[in-house]
Structure 1
């Protein structure tokens, strides 16, 4: 029995690595990229995408690249545009311009969900990628199917409680309503679950800027509200029903932009830049004690998206910079989380404000 227990424990790291393989390749910014295939990140220099903010990447279960997008164009694993992979109706300057969801009923079909810039009329749409087309390099047989308009630049996805289906969540513009669309083997639900909760997302179009992000266990949803709203919000999420509830607010934080949770879900991190930039700050919110503390100050004028990596560290986009910031120990309280501004060298490529958007 002891030998069996030892073998099971020895297998845990490899099982964890396998579960994280689908998020092991990142493309973002000015042709920048990362690979976590060996456990530690290494820069990728072969990306062809330029995007100021949002991007998304699809891999197979083994972590091999399939395609990537900025919400407008779709590149295959040869870094070539798919034959019909142009003119998606997201925007490369939408905070979360895209997220990719595999069809729960097929290993070859994927949905690309997109959001438009600053609450404009293209709204929330989805396109279909079929990997059996173009000799296995993929194509887009259906594009830009409208779900709802207008929406903010916020987009996130999380597994349903059944472990198979996926919720895709966005936020209506000029409204306080989150919309949760369920993706099943039958396709994308035509009608969302709507949750009228939290702040209005309204006003000048720039107020649509800012991320939403699920906690690692999917039970919480955080949002950054930019400019006039200047705050972060936290909600409960029901992975069975898609309902969002129990709002909490943290603020003011001028030009709040990115949000991310620690791997254990005990800490929430947010980026903010001050009015017009120049005060690029990372704040930690301890969800157990209620304490808020500034844990990082970037030399950059602006910082953007926060993204938890397969290595358990949180990476921070720095506008037009060859380095990402890195929160080395995100489960640790306060300064012990160890934010390093020049944390990871992108190998002569540059980040902008975005990092890839993945399913939780």
Structure 2
């Protein structure tokens, strides 16, 4: 029995080590006003880039942490920070919350998809372009641009690894509808028809309600969305990674200008950013997802921090297990140092990470869930 325990412990350690070693896809962040962060062995270092964006961006690296490409939804840069061939003119909007998302094509290591969303449910809608990384001496080339998927759509855009550990579900939301859309992305390409889930509240009305993040939980089985407006809210939903269906919405009401959302690494907490421009009061709210019923989760809302910035935006979980907070026009990112902890013991630091000579804006790079996961979960 003792020997078995030792073997089991060694196996768990090995799996943990392998998992940690295969997390490099999210190591390079480019966002804001030429700002960047590079994570090496879990340690962040400030850098700079060619990218300027008010809100959305996306970047992707290989499993070892080497940069592949990045974009603001309009222009695409390669690993050398040069515009890719045909890398201008994508139909995202740099003032769209999640203007872009990069997905590797299952079964083809050279092909990547760049999905884009237009600003505030405008006519460009949801589209995708295709990158062939085998071209231009391995630096990549855009081989098709702006393939139409649907319009109008909100600014919400994320992806979750399929339960088969190979394929993807691309997730977005229709405008003036309560319809969440899940497009299968597999070895055949991007599905032309999504799995529709008519669930939760209608995302519609004034175009500003198209603003706000959509993100998955660490296990991919839950989603959270922010709906930005003067009288706005958050949604929490369940996601079936086998079927693409979304269900069981929890509506969290009354959070002015809700924008960013992020789950804690253990999935027990949800964080959201709220703003009130008239009062210059930007706050981070925490919800306890283990509180019990939907009503109990709503009642668990706790303001864990108020920022010195009048506006804060995206929340993004880093490779180091901390949650980073975008502060508009600021040389610092906020940092939640212990996001699994309850209330203010989560330890938010407003001037948590210095960006050097570059400034943050409202966005941080958009990543899919499950980049390093290749097994059934």
What is the alpha-carbon root mean square deviation over aligned residues? 1.3
Match of residue 38, structure 2, among 18, 30, 35: 35
Aligned position for 2:324: 315
Residue 143 of structure 2 corresponds to residue 145 of structure 1: no
Post-superposition shift, 1:13? Answer: 4.9
Aligned position for 2:170: 168
- Give the TM-score normalised by the residue count of structure 1: 0.97
Distance 1:71 1:266 in 2: 32
Distance 1:325 1:106 in 2: 37
Contact 2:23 2:64 in 1 (8 A): no
Aligned position for 2:294: none
With over 3 angstroms needed to count, the CA separation of the structure-2 counterparts of 1:277 and 1:11, relative to structure 1, is: farther
For residues 247-301 of structure 1, the C-alpha deviation after alignment (integer angstroms, 9 at most, x for no partner) is 1111200000000000010100000002556110000000111211000110001
Long gaps (5+) in structure 2: 292-296, 370-377
With over 3 angstroms needed to count, the CA separation of the structure-2 counterparts of 1:149 and 1:277, relative to structure 1, is: farther
Alignment of 1:334-353 (within 5 A): 334-353=343-362
Aligned position for 2:129: 127
Residue 89 of structure 2 corresponds to residue 87 of structure 1: yes
Helix, strand or coil for the counterpart of 2:159? strand
Alignment of 1:189-338 (within 5 A): 189-276=191-278, 278-289=280-291, 290=297, 291-338=300-347
For residues 88-143 of structure 1, the C-alpha deviation after alignment (integer angstroms, 9 at most, x for no partner) is 00010000001100000100100000000000000000000000111111010101
Distance 2:183 2:142 in 1: 21
Distance 1:37 1:130 in 2: 27
Worse overlay, 30-39 or 271-280: 271-280
Contact 2:25 2:64 in 1 (8 A): yes
Distance 2:231 2:194 in 1: 25
Match of residue 363, structure 2, among 338, 347, 354: 354
Contact 1:25 1:37 in 2 (8 A): no
Contact 2:217 2:223 in 1 (8 A): yes
Residue 21 of structure 2 corresponds to residue 18 of structure 1: yes
Aligned position for 2:113: 111
Distance 2:60 2:234 in 1: 29
* Total equivalences in the alignment: 359
Distance 1:130 1:72 in 2: 17
- Give the TM-score normalised by the residue count of structure 2: 0.93
Residue 110 of structure 2 corresponds to residue 101 of structure 1: no
Post-superposition shift, 1:10? Answer: 4.3
Distance 2:7 2:83 in 1: 49
Distance 2:208 2:222 in 1: 25
Long gaps (5+) in structure 1: none
With over 3 angstroms needed to count, the CA separation of the structure-2 counterparts of 1:186 and 1:229, relative to structure 1, is: farther
With over 3 angstroms needed to count, the CA separation of the structure-2 counterparts of 1:180 and 1:4, relative to structure 1, is: same
Match of residue 57, structure 1, among 53, 56, 59: 59
Helix, strand or coil for the counterpart of 1:92? coil
Worse overlay, 195-204 or 253-262: 195-204
Contact 1:254 1:273 in 2 (8 A): yes
Helix, strand or coil for the counterpart of 2:259? strand
For residues 18-70 of structure 1, the C-alpha deviation after alignment (integer angstroms, 9 at most, x for no partner) is 2321111111111111111221111122x110011011111112111011000
